[in-house]
Amino acid sequence: MTDKELRRLGRQDLLQMLVAQTKEAAALETAMAEKMEEISGLEESLERLKGKLDEKDEQIERLKERLDEKDRILEEERNSFQESLGGKDVMIDRLKTRLNDKDNRIQEMEEEMKVLQADRWRELEENGAAEEVLFRLRALFR
Protein backbone atom coordinates (compact mmCIF):
# COMPACT_ATOMS: atom_id res chain seq x y z
CA MET A 1 0.00 0.00 0.00
CA THR A 2 1.33 3.43 -0.92
CA ASP A 3 1.50 6.51 1.28
CA LYS A 4 -1.38 8.15 -0.62
CA GLU A 5 -3.62 5.14 -0.08
CA LEU A 6 -2.63 5.03 3.58
CA ARG A 7 -3.55 8.75 4.06
CA ARG A 8 -6.93 8.28 2.45
CA LEU A 9 -7.88 5.56 4.94
CA GLY A 10 -9.98 6.56 7.87
CA ARG A 11 -9.15 6.14 11.47
CA GLN A 12 -11.33 3.06 11.82
CA ASP A 13 -9.70 1.40 8.80
CA LEU A 14 -6.26 2.19 10.19
CA LEU A 15 -7.20 0.72 13.57
CA GLN A 16 -8.56 -2.43 11.90
CA MET A 17 -5.30 -2.76 9.97
CA LEU A 18 -3.32 -2.24 13.14
CA VAL A 19 -5.42 -4.86 14.98
CA ALA A 20 -4.99 -7.28 12.05
CA GLN A 21 -1.24 -6.69 12.02
CA THR A 22 -1.10 -7.12 15.79
CA LYS A 23 -3.00 -10.42 15.52
CA GLU A 24 -0.74 -11.51 12.69
CA ALA A 25 2.36 -10.52 14.70
CA ALA A 26 1.01 -12.41 17.74
CA ALA A 27 0.31 -15.47 15.57
CA LEU A 28 3.80 -15.24 14.09
CA GLU A 29 5.31 -14.90 17.58
CA THR A 30 3.36 -17.95 18.73
CA ALA A 31 4.47 -19.90 15.66
CA MET A 32 8.04 -18.74 16.23
CA ALA A 33 7.90 -19.80 19.90
CA GLU A 34 6.60 -23.23 18.85
CA LYS A 35 9.38 -23.54 16.26
CA MET A 36 11.94 -22.48 18.89
CA GLU A 37 10.62 -25.16 21.26
CA GLU A 38 10.80 -27.69 18.45
CA ILE A 39 14.36 -26.62 17.67
CA SER A 40 15.25 -26.85 21.36
CA GLY A 41 13.78 -30.38 21.51
CA LEU A 42 15.69 -31.35 18.40
CA GLU A 43 18.92 -29.95 19.84
CA GLU A 44 18.36 -31.97 23.03
CA SER A 45 17.73 -35.07 20.93
CA LEU A 46 20.87 -34.32 18.96
CA GLU A 47 22.90 -34.01 22.16
CA ARG A 48 21.50 -37.31 23.49
CA LEU A 49 22.33 -38.99 20.19
CA LYS A 50 25.84 -37.52 20.27
CA GLY A 51 26.24 -38.87 23.81
CA LYS A 52 25.08 -42.32 22.73
CA LEU A 53 27.40 -42.19 19.74
CA ASP A 54 30.31 -41.27 22.01
CA GLU A 55 29.43 -44.21 24.28
CA LYS A 56 29.33 -46.53 21.27
CA ASP A 57 32.69 -45.19 20.09
CA GLU A 58 34.16 -45.90 23.54
CA GLN A 59 32.63 -49.37 23.52
CA ILE A 60 34.04 -50.03 20.04
CA GLU A 61 37.47 -48.87 21.21
CA ARG A 62 37.35 -51.18 24.25
CA LEU A 63 36.27 -54.10 22.06
CA LYS A 64 39.02 -53.29 19.57
CA GLU A 65 41.59 -53.32 22.38
CA ARG A 66 40.27 -56.66 23.62
CA LEU A 67 40.37 -58.05 20.10
CA ASP A 68 43.95 -56.81 19.63
CA GLU A 69 44.92 -58.48 22.93
CA LYS A 70 43.25 -61.74 21.86
CA ASP A 71 45.05 -61.55 18.50
CA ARG A 72 48.37 -61.02 20.29
CA ILE A 73 47.73 -63.99 22.60
CA LEU A 74 46.68 -66.15 19.67
CA GLU A 75 49.83 -65.19 17.76
CA GLU A 76 51.99 -66.06 20.79
CA GLU A 77 50.23 -69.41 21.16
CA ARG A 78 50.59 -70.10 17.44
CA ASN A 79 54.31 -69.32 17.59
CA SER A 80 54.70 -71.49 20.68
CA PHE A 81 52.79 -74.29 19.00
CA GLN A 82 54.94 -74.01 15.88
CA GLU A 83 58.10 -74.12 17.99
CA SER A 84 56.76 -77.13 19.84
CA LEU A 85 55.75 -78.73 16.57
CA GLY A 86 59.22 -78.09 15.17
CA GLY A 87 60.70 -79.82 18.23
CA LYS A 88 58.30 -82.71 17.77
CA ASP A 89 59.32 -83.00 14.11
CA VAL A 90 62.97 -83.25 15.15
CA MET A 91 62.06 -85.87 17.76
CA ILE A 92 60.03 -87.84 15.20
CA ASP A 93 62.97 -87.77 12.78
CA ARG A 94 65.30 -89.05 15.51
CA LEU A 95 62.84 -91.82 16.42
CA LYS A 96 62.48 -92.79 12.76
CA THR A 97 66.25 -93.00 12.47
CA ARG A 98 66.46 -95.15 15.61
CA LEU A 99 63.62 -97.35 14.33
CA ASN A 100 65.35 -97.79 10.99
CA ASP A 101 68.60 -98.65 12.79
CA LYS A 102 66.75 -101.21 14.94
CA ASP A 103 65.04 -102.68 11.85
CA ASN A 104 68.43 -102.98 10.13
CA ARG A 105 69.92 -104.59 13.25
CA ILE A 106 67.00 -107.05 13.47
CA GLN A 107 67.45 -107.95 9.80
CA GLU A 108 71.18 -108.50 10.35
CA MET A 109 70.45 -110.66 13.40
CA GLU A 110 67.86 -112.70 11.49
CA GLU A 111 70.37 -113.29 8.70
CA GLU A 112 73.03 -114.21 11.28
CA MET A 113 70.52 -116.54 12.98
CA LYS A 114 69.81 -118.27 9.66
CA VAL A 115 73.52 -118.75 9.09
CA LEU A 116 73.98 -120.10 12.63
CA GLN A 117 70.97 -122.41 12.24
CA ALA A 118 72.34 -123.68 8.95
CA ASP A 119 75.77 -124.20 10.55
CA ARG A 120 74.21 -125.97 13.53
CA TRP A 121 72.12 -128.18 11.27
CA ARG A 122 75.25 -129.09 9.30
CA GLU A 123 77.01 -129.97 12.57
CA LEU A 124 74.09 -132.13 13.60
CA GLU A 125 74.10 -133.88 10.23
CA GLU A 126 77.84 -134.43 10.42
CA ASN A 127 77.54 -135.91 13.89
CA GLY A 128 74.51 -137.93 12.91
CA ALA A 129 72.42 -136.16 15.50
CA ALA A 130 70.10 -134.62 12.90
CA GLU A 131 68.31 -137.90 12.39
CA GLU A 132 67.98 -138.36 16.12
CA VAL A 133 66.56 -134.82 16.52
CA LEU A 134 64.05 -135.47 13.73
CA PHE A 135 63.10 -138.79 15.31
CA ARG A 136 62.50 -137.14 18.69
CA LEU A 137 60.48 -134.33 17.10
CA ARG A 138 58.28 -136.84 15.29
CA ALA A 139 57.71 -138.65 18.54
CA LEU A 140 56.70 -135.42 20.26
CA PHE A 141 54.06 -134.62 17.67
CA ARG A 142 52.46 -138.07 17.66
pTM flag (> 0.85): no
Residue 88's Cβ-count burial label (10 Å; 0-12, 13-18, 19+) is exposed
Say how many C-beta atoms besides its own lie within 10 A of residue 129's C-beta. 14
b/e 42-52 (16+ beta carbons within 10 angstroms → b): eeeeeeeeeee
Amino acid 1: pLDDT: 66
Q: How far is CA 90 from the centre of its chain?
A: 30
Contacts of 8 (CB under 8 A, 6+ apart): none
Q: Give yes or no for a contact between 36 and 28, defined as CB atoms under 8 angstroms apart.
A: no
Measured distance CA(141)–CA(44) in Å, rounded: 109
Local confidence pLDDT in tens for the 142 residues of the chain: 677 776 777 888 888 989 999 999 999 999 999 999 999 999 999 999 999 999 999 999 999 999 999 999 999 999 998 888 888 888 899 999 999 999 999 999 999 999 998 888 787 777 777 777 777 778 888 7
Instruction: Say which amino acid occupies 57.
Output: D
